[in-house]
Amino acid sequence: MKVNIHLNKRVAVIGAGMTQFRRRILETPQEIAWEASSKALEEAGLELKDIECVVIGSAPDAFDGVNLKGEYLSHGSGGIRKPSSRVFVGGATGVMAAITGWYHVASGMCNTVLVVAEEKMSPARPHPQSVFRYIWDPILEKPLNPNLIWIFAMEMHRYMATYGIKKEEIALVSVKNKRNAANNPYAQLGGNITVDDVLNSEVLVWPVQLLDISPVSDGGAAMVMASEDVARRYSDTPIWVDGVGWTLDNTEWPARDLAYPRYLEFAARMAYKMAGIENPYKELDVIEPYDPFDYKELHHIEGLRIAKRGEAPKLLKEGVFDIDGDIPSSPSGGLLGVGNPIAAAGLMKVISIYWQLKGTAGKMQVKKPVHTGLAQAWGDLMQASTVIIMRN
């Protein structure tokens, strides 16, 4: 794909902020959005009056219980009397919000953009899973009364069966990410667990067990993006967005390859071409692949072409993806450890890479020097993928 000649302005991230990710946060969605926004503005050294455009990312309205959630959240996101828009591609929303902020600046339309992602899932009744009852085809799928865990269980089983992968190997992702999350002050479920803990946890839909899956969470995240002249005026360490990519696969999930995420390979190829990356294994220093389930981190590492098909578990066992490994993966703790307020979780991954490249990740900072990082998210009807590549 050739980059549009009108998207030719360099774009940097100069500030970011987050709320803690928790279950049943007392603050309203607008208050959550503002807490994250004000922290991002403070880190950037800007005030709300300095922001020209606002991009809001949030998943289905039903989570927060408010219709037209983009308009509702604009009060807490600084979007009043400014060009404001909301993007929504399910779990891929958080990275898509950052991509949307990028092209607001890259096109020359805005010099400063506040990107805000928020989700408050706890109020959904009787459980957030019930919200997903309305994503299925009303004739072909809904009569089967499916839920998302049911679909993910089939995908996980197909991935394991196709490549001969054992559950013990997949469980190592949960062990790694929850260990990393213990160093993250925003995390909901950081800690030291074992493979046996995962294998002995409650079976939800075989082979998915309780510790294979990320928790229900509330939370917000925000980021300030700016044009090159503004970024250099306000920051000594701007982090540049050098590649973006996004795609949709077939909306009919029975027609998709469940053992391999083709939707992600296409998005990654787009971002790699823009960033000039030919060998992702050698050229990426740190990654944040989307991990709502432990097997999805491995699945996505393969879709990103960092590992060959079926070989990500082998590299995981060798320590390649540990925080002191060759390509640290989810040093934030990922969704499995930090939590999964859907849209905010994707933007959390972008912010994690931003802080890693800036060298301000604190106890989460990876051990080796890092210059190129990637964040990725996935969602909608499990066929949307979004990728962003940043450099320092």
Domain ranges of the chain: 9-124+216-230, 127-214+240-389
Cα–Cα distance, 193 to 337 (Å, whole number): 11
Of 127 and 249, which is predicted with more confidence? 249
- The CATH number of domain 9-124+216-230, selected from 3.50.50.60, 3.40.50.11060, 3.40.190.10, 3.40.47.10: 3.40.47.10
pLDDT of residue 125 exceeding 80? no
Do you know the residue count of the chain?
392
Are 364 and 83 spatial neighbours (Cβ–Cβ below 8 Å)? Answer: no
Report how far Cα 248 is from the mean position of its chain's Cα atoms: 16
Give 338-378 as a DSSP string: H-B-HHHHHHHHHHHHHHHHHT--GGG--SS---EEEEEEE
- Mean pLDDT for 350-361 is 98
pLDDT of residue 381 exceeding 80? no
Cα–Cα distance, 304 to 47 (Å, whole number): 37
pLDDT of residue 3: 53
pLDDT of residue 219: 97
pLDDT of residue 1 exceeding 60? no
Residue 30 parent element (H or E): helix 29-44
Are 316 and 299 spatial neighbours (Cβ–Cβ below 8 Å)? Answer: no
User: Which of 91-100, 128-137, 192-201, 278-287 shows the lowest per-residue confidence on average (mean pLDDT)?
Assistant: 128-137
pLDDT of residue 4: 56
Q: Which fold has domain 127-214+240-389?
A: Peroxisomal Thiolase; Chain A, domain 1 (3.40.47)
pLDDT of residue 383: 83
Summarize pLDDT for 166-196 with one digit per residue, the tens: 999 999 999 999 999 999 999 999 999 999 9
Cα–Cα distance, 62 to 337 (Å, whole number): 24
pLDDT of residue 5 exceeding 60? no
- Mean pLDDT for 42-47 is 98
- Mean pLDDT for 159-163 is 98
pLDDT of residue 99: 98
Q: Considering only CA atoms, which of 1, 14, 10 is closest in space to residue 106?
A: 10
Are 208 and 293 spatial neighbours (Cβ–Cβ below 8 Å)? Answer: yes
Structure tokens at 175: 């062990």
pLDDT of residue 239 exceeding 60? yes
pLDDT of residue 275 exceeding 50? yes
Q: Is 83 helix (H, G, I), strand (E, B) or coil?
A: coil
Q: Is 131 helix (H, G, I), strand (E, B) or coil?
A: helix
Q: Do domains 9-124+216-230 and 127-214+240-389 have the same CATH topology?
A: yes
Neighbours of 2 (CB within 10 A): 6
Pairing between strand 53-57 and 84-87?
parallel
